[in-house]
Amino acid sequence: MKKPFVTKEQIEEIAKTYPTPFHIYDEKGIRENARALYKAFSWNKGFREYFAVKATPNPFIMKVLQSEGCGFDCSSLTELMLSDDVGAKGHDIMFSSNATPDADFKKAFELGAIINLDDFTHIDVLDKLTGIPETICCRYNPGGEFKTDGSPNVMDTPRDAKYGFTHDQLIEGYRILKEKGAKKFGMHAFLASNTLTNDYYPTLAGILFRTAVEIKEKTGVQLSFINLSGGVGIAYKPDQPQNDIAVIGEKVKEQYEKILVPAGMGDVAVFTELGRFMLAPYGMLIAKAIREKHIYKEYIGLDACAANLMRPAIYGAYHHITVLGKENAPLDHKYDVTGGLCENCDKFAVDRMLPKIDIGDYVAIHDAGAHGFSMGYNYNGKLRSAELLLREDGSVKLIRRAETPEDYFRTFDIFNKDYDL
């Protein structure tokens, strides 16, 4: 059963200062999970997690992860700026972007970030813009279909993905980068998203480790690090099995010892670039039931909407809902739980069995800590909510204020309400 990390009483108290809706994050959960990840990969000397900033781009959350040893994976100019602002330096930053604008490449170079090239043609682009840095990484797309070893299988089709170098481009790419003066090399691949099997990373590692050996044989380039990127998922539904990061770490180690060590590559560092796994379970969207309606179906209207958490609306994604204070009540009412956007897809849950919801009840929408707030938008003129951090001592810190109408209208400021054409 999914249990919220706050009680109704806590939320009632918090809401006196910070009205709903808001996102709240659990510092204790974030730290414990980050430690479990580092423990799982402690067998690898250079291991490092580069938190995927896009999942939860908040400097306070980033500070928490930074203090647990994490670096940051950025894919845009502003994510780079945010990482710089929290004091990330040089190789604390991994820059994995695609269709990269010149300004973003320049910023990444200026910060001394590890640049992960998305494409063969970017070698030339970067060379002309900034020169090739001493440390450089290439993103690999093996094409074809990807299927995990073991069961249950996870399948994806890298050949349809826009990312990365082909196999032959990769080999040629390292050759050219070496010629151009690069000294340290990395490889990166992201082949499946939100995987719910302990076999995703190990299968991916097997592919990348074998490719690393081939690169060494064919080009003489010895990789310094291999970045398994993101994609380790979480169980959004209460009855799904959770990934076990300790098992995942152990199975990656088996591949490492089987493939890299015998090839004399036992000093390659393993990196990860997780977003969802690091944050999703440790953030909830808290909203209040403000309206009800009884037509062909039963509806509960919240003060939050898809603009605060769009995964259900765009992917039909399941997010568990707990009615706070009714954790043990029978699930004997069937509701569509909606937001107020003028879009029929703005539903946090459809035909969900829940306890009877009364107006004024607070609901916790679970697993919103990653790709939640950050995917928010302003459709219908809805404003982005505040973000709060539940500290380990039980206190609550505001880590982003809610947007105001002034924020929303700011890009019209220059006209001073003079809208005559």
Ligand X SMILES: *Cc1c(COP(=O)(O)O)cnc(C)c1O
Decide whether 273 or 361 has the Cβ nearer to ligand X: 273
Residue whose tokens read 């849950």: 349
CB of 72 to ligand X, least distance (A): 11
CB of 195 to ligand X, least distance (A): 9
CB of 56 to ligand X, least distance (A): 9
CB of 189 to ligand X, least distance (A): 10
Residue with nearest beta carbon to ligand X: 230
For residues 326 and 311, is the Cβ–Cβ distance under 8 A?
Answer: no
Q: Tell me the C-alpha distance between 341 and 383, whole Å.
A: 12
C-alpha distance from residue 254 to each of 153, 217, 247 (Å) = 19, 22, 11
Q: Tell me the C-alpha distance between 196 and 244, whole Å.
A: 10
Q: Dihedral angle at the C-alpha atoms of 86, 91, 95, 100, nearest 10 degrees?
A: 110
Q: Which residues fall within 8 angstroms of residue 418, CB to CB, at 6 or more apart? A: none
Strand 269-272 relative to strand 48-52: parallel, antiparallel, unpaired? parallel
Decide whether 135 or 322 has the Cβ nearer to ligand X: 135
Mapped onto helix, strand or coil, the DSSP state of residue 388 is strand
- The footprint of ligand X (CB under 6 A) covers 52, 54-55, 73, 75, 96, 190, 193-194, 229-231, 273-277, 370
**Per-residue 3-state assignment (H helix, E strand, C coil) for 100-147:** CCHHHHHHHHHHCCEEEECCCHHHHHHHHHCCCCCEEEEEECCCCCEE
Decide whether 53 or 287 has the Cβ nearer to ligand X: 53
Decide whether 285 or 341 has the Cβ nearer to ligand X: 285
Decide whether 99 or 421 has the Cβ nearer to ligand X: 99
Decide whether 55 or 123 has the Cβ nearer to ligand X: 55
Decide whether 228 or 304 has the Cβ nearer to ligand X: 228
CB of 319 to ligand X, least distance (A): 15
CB of 264 to ligand X, least distance (A): 29
Report which of 7, 10, 49 is spatially closest to residue 30, judged by C-alpha positions.
49
CB of 236 to ligand X, least distance (A): 13
Strand 48-52 relative to strand 386-390: parallel, antiparallel, unpaired? unpaired
C-alpha distance from residue 246 to each of 36, 42, 142, 197, 349 (Å) = 7, 10, 27, 13, 32
